[in-house]
Structure 1
Amino acid sequence: MAPGPDLALMTRLVLDGPQRAAAAAAFGMIAAGAAQALLGALGLAAFLAARPELFTAFRWTGAAALLVWACLALRAALRPAPHGGPGPMPATGDDAARAEPSGSRSPTGRAFIQGLLCTGSNPKVGMFLMAFLPQFVPPGVDPATGVVVLAACYLSLGLIWLLIWMRLVHRLARRMHSARVVRLTHALTAAVFGTFAVRLALGG
């Protein structure tokens, strides 16, 4: 729930397209978190911890994905405004949905995959869940059952927070009448992606 790549991706999607795309990305992030928790419960987290070379490869893959998104956000920030002027603010939410041609390809599937990769490419998510949740399993409760229930609660809260963030950014974006502000937001998003890519690559 802390500021990071997931919130940066959500912000970019809200600014660039309809809200349903950002919502699809949020569900992709939660699906990735659930998959990592399941794989961690099955022993993958311990396996990666015991095989540093595999963990490093996984970590570098995640860093590469974040770096690609940083480049995309930076390209959006550097894109010149139409006709050389400040231009109108990009349509967001329902405005963008109404502006889509009827035959255009839905962006929700692509956004879901982006969310899935954004969270799924970070192996530390599963390891965090496996290290954090077991300590809260009540005595006398089957550990596997307890972890599954706690993971479901944690991921549900995460989804609620992502959807709240989506609405907050959407409301703020509707009040942004300057293309310069939107470009600055893209630049900040690129900085977040780039920072986390470097940290992940270096193992921080």
Structure 2
Amino acid sequence: MFALLMTMTPGPDTLLVLRNCVRGGRRSGAATALGAALGSLAWAAAAAVGLAAALQRWDAAFTVVRLAGAAYLVVLGGQALWAHRRSAAVPGAGAEPAAEEAADRAPLGPVRAFRQGLLSCLLNPKVGIFFVAVVPQFLPEGHSVLGGTLLLGALDAVIAAGWLLLVVVCAGRLLERLRRPRVHRTLERTTGGVLVALGVGTAAETVAG
């Protein structure tokens, strides 16, 4: 239940899945969701062998990973804002999708979407810290820490994939409306701004800390 609540909390992964679903369709949205889930599973494996805890104690490495993740979010958000700016600059874009805007969306296939979802999660060390700080409290007494952490990590990855795929299904039913030029530009601007804000906030928090 706790893992479900944490997964349902809106974050970069959810925004990325929604945006990629609109840009590339359900397959790209689902690929993004599976990439994020695999990233979560990788963090669980790292926590199980102590790498996440070691990373947290090693300030320099932890800072590098957090700043890399923040930069990645800013890049993704900047791309969305740039696409919005280009489409807004095209005369008559409010009526029909501009050719340049359509070209920007076309290259986003499932492979690229999967990579974005995976990197978004892998470059977020807070996921690893979650497993290090929270998972041990749910491990059965007397059982293997490695096996228990991997099992709970796998369950968390399944829950994350299930929730994000549900987001894809819901977005898929609204694709026709979401792809209307005005709605699409608003979505690009909003998700882009939020991703940039999350990246800048993470970077500022890292530097201040």
TM band (smaller chain) = 0.7 to 0.9
Equivalent-residue separation in structure 1 for 2:93 and 2:25 (angstroms): 24
Match of 1:93 in 2: none
- Equivalent position to 1:175, from 163, 166, 177: 177
Tell me how far 1:40 sits from its aligned partner: 1.7
Q: Paired residue for 1:63? A: 70
**Which structure 1 residue ranges, 4+ long, deviate > 4 Å from structure 2?**
none
| Inter-partner Cα distance in structure 2 for 1:188 and 1:140 | 48
Residues 107, 45 of structure 1: CA spacing in aligned structure 2 closer, same or farther, 3 A cutoff? same
Provide the secondary structure at the position in 2 that maps to 1:58: helix
1:74 is the counterpart of 2:81: yes
Query: Which structure dedicates a bigger proportion of its chain to helix?
Result: 2
State whether structure 2 residue 39 is matched by structure 1 residue 39: no
Secondary structure at the aligned position of 2:87 is classed as coil
**Structural RMSD (CA):** 2.2
Residue equivalent to 1:203: 205
CA distance in 2, matches of 1:136, 1:10: 29
Gaps of 5+ in 1: 91-95
Q: In the TM superposition, what are the counterparts of 1:39-188 in structure 2 within 5 Å?
A: 39-80=46-87, 84-88=92-96, 107-176=109-178, 178-188=180-190
Count of paired positions = 192
**Which residue in 1 is equivalent to 2:17?**
10
The CA distance in 2 between the partners of 1:67 and 1:137, in whole Å, is 36
Distance 1:177 1:68 in 2: 22
Aligned-partner Cα distance in 1 for 2:64–2:109: 30
**Equivalent pair of 2:39/2:118 in contact (CA under 8 Å):** yes
Deviations 1:75-100 (A, max 9, x none): 1222326652413469xxxxx9xxx8
Residue 3 of structure 2 corresponds to: none
Counterpart-to-counterpart distance in 1, 2:133 and 2:184:
38
Asked whether the equivalents of residues 22 and 179 of structure 2 are also in contact (C-alpha less than 8 Å), the reply is no
Q: CA deviation at 1:177?
A: 6.8
Contact 2:30 2:165 in 1 (8 A): yes
